[in-house]
Amino acid sequence: MSLPPTFLLTANQSSNESDRAVLGVERLVLVAVLGSEVVLGVTGNSLLIYTKIRLSQCRRELHSQYVIALLSLSVSDLGCCLLIMSSSLLAVLMEGERSPWCEIVSLLKFAFITSSLGSLAILCVQRCVGVASTGSWKTVVVVIACITSWVTGLVFGSVPVVFQWIRYDPAEMLCAVFWQDSYSDMLLYILSAFSLCIFTPLLIIIVCSLLTSAGLSQNCGDEDLSSVTPLLVAVYFLCYTPFVLSELILLGRLDLSPAPDWLRTLSSVMAYLDCVLNPLIYCTNQDFREAVLGVLWTNRKAKVQPVLTSVVRLQV
């Protein structure tokens, strides 16, 4: 017995309305989550950078050992909050992104990932070998290493833009790389990018962390703000695990189909969460926490000394 056409039409309309309601709820949840991450990330990282600059100007010893790598990491997190996270929020609200901002965001996203991971690797190396960034030649080396991580990310991020592999992905809430032509091209690019930008820094971080934990390093001092490095590394690994899994799934599929939508959405949300949590991790250091409170609540008024500008002779 076949169902009447009117019944089928009503059932289809009910199903479509139900799907739209579910999508509406998911969209509201994403807007709330992304909005919260943007506000917290921008506020936290801005305060973090401002505090570091203030302490550096006051010549406080808290940040003197590793200020360059820590500042590079904070700038990367702030850039991600201002440009990438806000772009995802706008993309969800406007249901897409347009060129050329689409390609720019894709390029910057990879640059921020690479620079933050590179900054962590540099920080771990400094703590392991006991090389502070206070000497002249040491400062130059650390600055060059940080700039190299940024430039490497920009170079590999620009390759998909040049070859027009970029299009908007509703699951990632950003423009991402989509492969349509050649599995060999995709494999070559991902292996090259991950080998230089991801796996090499990760290997450095793991080796240096193990040496430091085993007491085989020449640490410059655990009282420095770099004492939060192990927690920064652990949270980074946790937050970027979904991203790595989604890329590994892509590598394992010969038909070039991406990872499931829910995993790609989770990878973006968790990657953004890392930028939000980093300022909170810094505040686990008691000295830095006190410094932040001092910047927020202490009103320092400059003492103005009288200056003799002129002499007037009075006639008596």
At 316 the pLDDT is: 53
Give the per-residue pLDDT at 151.
93
Distance CA 194, CA 113 (A): 11
Is the predicted pLDDT of residue 307 greater than 70, yes or no? no
Total structural domains within the chain: 1
Assess if residue 6 is contained within a domain.
no
The residue among 236 and 217 whose pLDDT is bigger is: 236
The answer to whether position 298 is within a domain reads: no
Q: Does residue 212 fall inside a structural domain?
A: yes
Residue 243, domain member (yes or no) = yes
Q: What is the pLDDT of residue 36?
A: 93
Structural contact between residues 134 and 65, judged by C-beta atoms closer than 8 angstroms: yes
What one-character-per-residue DSSP string does 142-181 give? Answer: HHHHHHHHHHHHHHHHHHHHHTT-EEEETTTTEEEE---S
Least trusted range by pLDDT, from 61-65, 71-75, 200-204, 250-254: 61-65
The contacts found for 72-75 with CB under 8 angstroms, 24 or more apart, are 72/115, 72/118, 72/119, 72/122, 72/146, 72/149, 72/150, 73/115, 73/116, 73/119, 73/120, 73/123, 73/232, 73/278, 74/45, 74/48, 74/49, 74/278, 75/49
Distance CA 41, CA 185 (A): 36
Share above pLDDT 70 across residues of the chain, in percent, rounded to a whole number: 76
The answer as to whether 312 is a domain residue is no
Tens of pLDDT, residue by residue over 157-188, are: 898 888 888 888 888 888 887 766 666 777 78
Highest mean pLDDT among 59-73, 131-145, 267-281: 267-281
Please state the rounded mean pLDDT for residues 195-206. 89
Give the residue-averaged pLDDT of 57-83: 77
pLDDT tens per residue, range 20-59: 554 667 888 899 999 999 999 999 999 888 887 776 665 5
- Whole-angstrom CA distances from 13 to 1, 5, 10, 20, 118 are 22, 12, 5, 10, 52
What's CA 219's distance to the chain center, in Å? 26
Evaluate whether residue 3 is within a structural domain. Answer: no
**By the 8 A CB rule, do 179 and 186 touch?**
yes
Indicate whether 169 belongs to any domain.
yes
State yes or no: pLDDT of 308 exceeds 60.
Answer: no
244 is a domain residue: yes
What is the CB neighbour count within 10 angstroms for residue 310? 4
pLDDT of residue 63: 47
Residue 132: the pLDDT is 58
> Average model confidence (pLDDT) for the chain?
79
pLDDT greater than 80 at residue 17: no
The span from the CA of 37 to the CA of 271, in Å, is 11
pLDDT in tens, 95-143: 878 878 888 988 998 899 999 999 999 988 888 887 655 556 777 888 8
Q: Residue 77: is its pLDDT beyond 60?
A: yes
- Model pLDDT, residue 301: 46
| Domain carrying residue 33 | 19-292
Does the pLDDT value for residue 7 go beyond 50?
no
CATH value at residue 193:
1.20.1070.10
Question: What was the pLDDT predicted at 68?
Answer: 84
